[in-house]
Amino acid sequence: MLFNNVTIVGVGLISGSFALALKQKGLAKNIIGVSRTTASLNTALQLGIIDEALPLAEAVKKSDFIYVAIPVDATIAVMQQIMDMVTDKQIVADAGSTKLALCNALAQHHNRQQFVATHPMWGTEYSGPQAAVQDAFVGRCCVICEQEKSNSHALATVENIYKTLGMHLVYMDARSHDTHAAYVSHISHITSFALANTVLEKEKEENTIFELAGGGFESTVRLAKSNPAMWAPIFMQNKHNVLEVLNEHIHQLQKFKTSLEQNNPEALITLMKNANKISKILVKKQ
């Protein structure tokens, strides 16, 4: 057993799955949930995700390890409260989808070295404790940012947890993380939301969508079910990168448009053959 007491701040998809995995791997004896939402705490208790629910200060006080997974617009303020409270015996980590704003906010904190900035690259379009799943992180990648600013014990402990959960670790600075996350995660969500709106806007005969929509549509539009309250702050915090990728994406769509308008199937084929190269990347992953 690594920890007697672990606090998860936020009891949702990521923290819930993380808590289930800690228990399953025997890494935590008692898991404390902290949330503004009483209903989520009750659900998490019922599902056995947490063992008890406490206010933040009490939870932090008795915990060896505090894991924060809440919408990124709330993370900085909550994290500053936590960091003000912890001792050099306690370890803090977050799971946020943006890293630069948080890392910058905590850069000068006297307890900075107790904190490890992480982003486990896993998620689904669902949210809340009822969305938490066993084995969520297995085989996925976890980014650790600014590892040189965490003390070696805290870093090794967090690395050990993620490895035990089946993740492989990637290290990068927070700015690089946010750039890469815009390309491989944030833009996929915007595309999917926009595609859903496209179809909903134009197609008024819902029953026909429902009848005809095949696997391809479901696949590309799946992320459109994601939680706006989680994603708006991510897009806002990573605005610079997201806009850059979004502009490029619109530009790429316009190439398809122009090729069609010009009755140029060869140009379409060239665009698609280039896109086919994504196979190499996806195959390597498996």
Q: Which of residues 115-154 bind its own copies (CB under 8 A)?
A: 121-125, 140-141, 143
Q: Which is nearer to its own copies, 83 or 234 (CB)?
A: 234
Q: How far is the CB of 74 from its own copies (least distance, A)?
A: 13
The tokens for 215 are 């696997």
* Helix (H) or strand (E) run with residue 67 in it: strand 65-68
Q: Which of residues 214-273 bind its own copies (CB under 8 A)?
A: 214-226, 228-229, 231-233, 235-236, 239, 242-250, 252-257, 260-261, 263, 265, 268-269, 271-273
Please tell me whether residue 194 binds its own copies under the rule CB under 8 A: yes
Q: Which is nearer to its own copies, 124 or 151 (CB)?
A: 124
Q: Which is nearer to its own copies, 110 or 284 (CB)?
A: 284
Q: Which of residues 24-53 bind its own copies (CB under 8 A)?
A: none
Number of chain positions touching its own copies (CB under 8 A): 96
Q: Which is nearer to its own copies, 92 or 221 (CB)?
A: 221
Residue type, position 183, single letter: Y
Sign (positive or negative) of CA dihedral 181, 126, 229, 79: negative
DSSP 71-118: -HHHHHHHHHHHHHH--TT-EEEE--S--HHHHHHHTT-TTGGGEEEE
SS3 content of the chain, % helix, strand, coil (to 5): 60, 15, 25
Q: Which of residues 92-111 bind its own copies (CB under 8 A)?
A: none
β-strand partners of 142: 120, 169
Q: Which is nearer to its own copies, 1 or 281 (CB)?
A: 281
* Helix (H) or strand (E) run with residue 30 in it: strand 28-34
Among 39, 77, 156, 213, binds its own copies (CB under 8 A): 213
Each residue of 20-47: b (16+ CB within 10 Å) or e?
Answer: bbbbeeebbebbbbbbeeeebbebbbee
Q: How far is the CB of 162 from its own copies (least distance, A)?
A: 14
Strands 115-120 and 141-145: what pairing? antiparallel
Interface characters, 50-79, with its own copies (x: CB under 8 A): ------------------------------
State the Cα–Cα distance between residues 111 and 90, nearest whole angstrom: 10
Q: Which is nearer to its own copies, 85 or 271 (CB)?
A: 271
Q: How far is the CB of 171 from its own copies (least distance, A)?
A: 10
State the Cα–Cα distance between residues 150 and 88, nearest whole angstrom: 11
Q: Which is nearer to its own copies, 82 or 234 (CB)?
A: 234
Q: How far is the CB of 266 from its own copies (least distance, A)?
A: 8
Q: How far is the CB of 197 from its own copies (least distance, A)?
A: 5
Q: Which of residues 151-190 bind its own copies (CB under 8 A)?
A: 168, 170, 172, 180-181, 183-185, 187-190
Q: Which is nearer to its own copies, 110 or 211 (CB)?
A: 211
State the Cα–Cα distance between residues 248 and 150, nearest whole angstrom: 35
The tokens for 276 are 């086919």
